[in-house]
Structure 1
Amino acid sequence: MVKVAIFDYGAGNIFSLKSSLEKNEAQVDIITNLEKIKNYSGLFLPGVGNFDPAIKSLNTSKVVFQDLIKNQIPVLGICLGMEMFFEKSEEGKLGGLGILDGEVILLPNKFKIPHMGWNNLQIKKPSVLLDGVKEGSWVYFVHSYRIKPKNEEIIMADSDYGINVPAVIENQTLFGTQFHPEKSSKVGSIMIKNFLRVCKK
């Protein structure tokens, strides 16, 4: 059984993610200190909360997080969790983790914000996370921002919301989804299984 951790920003509402992981036979702990990450095979940054408070909660562990990336421990950032990988966000004033080049920007105000509901995936290239996921599969979004990576090669899939919203990114052992796989039914479960398979390696 693979042992993984969910980092808790203090925003709550992460138990649906924990439950989804346990249904896929993972042993899951919720942690507030990344110093203990050596005991785990993978890390989840959940998709709840606001940018600045979440970054503040990670800042004390920022160096540890960067070491974790260097040591290639798999990380899956969901929604806000993925947005924190980048240099900055229009949601906050603090700098992001800066693991990936780029920024996070507000969805255009001509659209209903937050974007909440089911949208389908447009798969751009083969992807570890999307292995077994069919083109056009529906996933569940709740977000007001979208990522704008400088290197678009990391975008594995996007979703059409009047504009193309990057939906899945991969960069070595760093993975991100703008949607919530834990709320995306069977399709989301496939992705969680794929990530846990990476953690087992």
Structure 2
Amino acid sequence: MILIVNCGSNKVPYLEDIVNDHMDFTTVSMYDVAKTDLSSYKGVIISGAPILISQVNPDPYLEAFSFIKEIEIPVLGICFGHQILGMVFDAFPALEKEDRDWQTISFYEDSPLLTSIPKEVLMMEDHTENISIPPGFMLLGGSDQCVNEAMQHRQRPLYGVQFHPEVSGNMGARLIENFVNICRNHAPAKDEEE
């Protein structure tokens, strides 16, 4: 089962429809995620939000999502989710030019998140901020408007995309399906005592 964290995005129903085609899910508000028992979930998707994280005190959000540092299951952050994922790992947010249109995303690295997705693909943007690449992450892709369009942790199954795959047609749906497959196939690290 996938946990979808709704951070106030009006795009969550589209995300739910795509995930539902591949795996059961539960949706919770970002204000309830800290109280959620994650042990029965195979992965977490963090949605976008109508929040400019560079213009508010980020501490309550960083605290709500601090669980990301500890969990072993895969995480996908979308837009605000991408930004908060990065900030949990010390990325810096920046207010940039508003981008609410289709953009060509260029992918530079291979990743299980990008299986069967072309190296250049149109994806829908809806943001005015982006983040630096946090320590421990590698840049997967960028666009003319945003350097960090996609990133992946180097050792853990943590992924972030600045664009909105849930409203980006077949290739966006493919990316979400790829994440569900990552969750389905993920085996947490065994304790060394076993």
Relative to the length of structure 1, the TM-score reads: 0.78
Other-structure match for 1:105: 94
> How many correspondences in the alignment?
175
Unaligned runs of 5+ in 1: 88-96, 108-112
Q: Tell me the amino acid that sits aligned with residue 13 of structure 2.
A: F
Q: Quick check: 1:12–1:48 contact (8 Å CA) kept in 2? A: yes
Q: Quick check: 1:41–1:199 contact (8 Å CA) kept in 2? A: yes
Other-structure match for 1:173: 157
Q: Quick check: 1:77–1:177 contact (8 Å CA) kept in 2? A: yes
Whole-Å Cα distance in 2 between the matches of residues 124 and 150 of structure 1? 17
Deviation, 1:121, is 1.5
Identity of aligned residues (%): 22
Unaligned runs of 5+ in 2: 186-194
Q: Tell me the amino acid that sits aligned with residue 38 of structure 1.
A: S
Q: Quick check: 1:6–1:30 contact (8 Å CA) kept in 2? A: yes
Relative to the length of structure 2, the TM-score reads: 0.81
Q: Tell me the amino acid that sits aligned with residue 28 of structure 1.
A: F
Other-structure match for 2:69: 66
Q: Which runs of 4+ in 1 moved over 3 A?
A: 52-55, 150-153
Residue 126 of structure 2: SS of its match in structure 1? strand
Q: Tell me the amino acid that sits aligned with residue 79 of structure 2.
A: C
Do the aligned partners of residues 8 and 58 (structure 1) sit closer, same or farther apart at CA in structure 2, a change above 3 Å counting? farther
Whole-Å Cα distance in 1 between the matches of residues 142 and 43 of structure 2? 24
Whole-Å Cα distance in 1 between the matches of residues 58 and 13 of structure 2? 17
Q: Tell me the amino acid that sits aligned with residue 150 of structure 2.
A: V
Whole-Å Cα distance in 2 between the matches of residues 12 and 186 of structure 1? 20
Whole-Å Cα distance in 2 between the matches of residues 125 and 28 of structure 1? 29
Other-structure match for 2:23: 26
